[in-house]
Chains A and B, each alone.
Chain A
Amino acid sequence: EDQVTQSPEALRLQEGESSSLNCSYTVSGLRGLFWYRQDPGKGPEFLFTLYSAGEEKEKERLKATLTKKESFLHITAPKPEDSATYLCAVQGNTDKLIFGTGTRLQVFP
């Protein structure tokens, strides 16, 4: 059964304090791993797609990496505006996206 587990559930960082969010997955035939950002009261917003182990993508202070078992979302020198819930999802051999429960990130000044 396809499954996604995200850790930690919640993370509090001081502004400028870099850290990483983890997404562990099991899937039959990975077709893509997706990272989304979700702000309170809003729908998820697409950040990255990764397709194969070793792939990396960057956007501003965020960098996503992928291995055969997990993905990391590295946040470098975060700012308060990076506070949000970050969702990871995988697509395997089916048409479905399987989502994790997310990591709630708070960055305080």
Chain B
Amino acid sequence: EAQVTQNPRYLITVTGKKLTVTCSQNMNHEYMSWYRQDPGLGLRQIYYSMNVEVTDKGDVPEGYKVSRKEKRNFPLILESPSPNQTSLYFCASSPRGGFGKNIQYFGAGTRLSVL
């Protein structure tokens, strides 16, 4: 089954404790992206990657890191989480980026709480 898989689905952590949220897709997509979703603000892009070893900042990259060493994986790293990073996170992938026809397929989400 074609899908985008995120882990973990739920995570409670404390301020300053480094964490990684994994994202994997099995559709051989070139484009991958991370979003956060907050009430009243909608989905906002954190980082995206056009292909392996190519990443770029989205609208809200502060406090986050990403890497794209393999085509299928795009982990999101919070080096020192803070309470304002409490949110619902989504990973998405697309066959291609930079064009109008890039339908993005989303994972099920990771709900993160930073205490």
Listed in ascending order, the chain A residues whose CB lies under 8 Å from chain B are: 4, 30-32, 34, 36, 41-46, 49, 51, 87, 89, 91, 95-97, 99-102
Complex: how many Å from CA A97 to CA B98?
A: 10
- Tell me which of B40, B90, B104 contacts A46 (CB under 8 A): B104
From B99, which residue of chain A is reached at the shortest CB distance? A31
Q: How far is the CB of A54 from chain B (nearest CB, A)?
A: 16
| Chain A positions within 8 Å of B31 at CB level | 95
CB of B1 within 8 Å of the partner chain: no
Q: How far is the CB of B107 from chain A (nearest CB, A)?
A: 5
Interchain pairs with CB closer than 8 A, number: 60
State whether A32 touches B101 (Cβ < 8 A).
yes
- CB-based closest 6 A-B pairs: A31-B100, A43-B106, A32-B100, A99-B43, A101-B42, A99-B42
CB of B81 within 8 Å of the partner chain: no
Complex: how many Å from CA A49 to CA B109?
A: 22
Name 14 interchain pairs, CB-CB below 8 A, sorted by A.
A32-B101, A41-B109, A43-B106, A44-B43, A46-B103, A87-B42, A87-B43, A91-B102, A95-B48, A96-B45, A96-B59, A99-B42, A101-B40, A102-B42
Interface footprint category on B: 20 to 34
Complex: how many Å from CA A49 to CA B94?
A: 14
Q: How far is the CB of B87 from chain A (nearest CB, A)?
A: 14
| Chain A positions within 8 Å of B92 at CB level | 43
Additional A-B contact list (4), CB under 8 Å, known A46-B103, A51-B101, A96-B45: A32-B102, A43-B4, A49-B100, A99-B44
